[in-house]
Amino acid sequence: MLVVVNQPHINNFTIQGTISDKDLQFFKKHFGESLVIEDDEDLVGFRDTDWFKEIEGEITPASNLAFYRKLSKMTQTELGQMLGVSKQVISDMEHERRAISRKTAKELSRIFSVSVDRFI
């Protein structure tokens, strides 16, 4: 489901994904006619796009590590401190010179609030 709110005094915002009935009722109550709801049938999951299918093989635990670290605006040194390892260890994991252990994958999952399978 896609929910879009367009009101002059509120910055436009969009919510995509599963939305609970309670949340949907809240949006309807507070935004009325400014609320636009698009049906899931018109949307395509990104994993089903040709673009994703082309790059899927390039997505690795190492590239995910670098992606989530940069997304969090974190340096290799800062992440290393959180994991109790050196900056060089983070660099080695990001450049596939060192494997990401299951223990480290679990900790990265916690730090970045994503599924552990992103790092395995």
More confident residue, 37 or 11: 37
In terms of phi and psi (left: phi > 0; alpha: psi -120 to 50; beta: otherwise), the region of 39 is beta
- CA 38, CA 23: separation in Å to the nearest integer? 15
Q: What are the phi and psi torsion angles at 91 (to 5°)?
A: -60, -45
Q: Which CATH architecture has domain 58-119?
A: Orthogonal Bundle (1.10)
What's the Cα-to-Cα distance from 37 to each of 4, 42, 44, 45, 101, rounded to whole Å? 7, 11, 15, 17, 43
Q: Which long-range contacts (CB under 8 A, 24 or more apart) does 56-59 make?
A: none
What are the structure tokens assigned to 1, written together? 């489901």
Distance CA 120, CA 115 (A): 10
For the chain, the domains span 2-43, 58-119
pLDDT tens digits, one per residue of 58-100: 889 999 999 999 999 999 999 999 999 999 999 999 999 999 9
Q: What is the pTM of this model?
A: 0.58
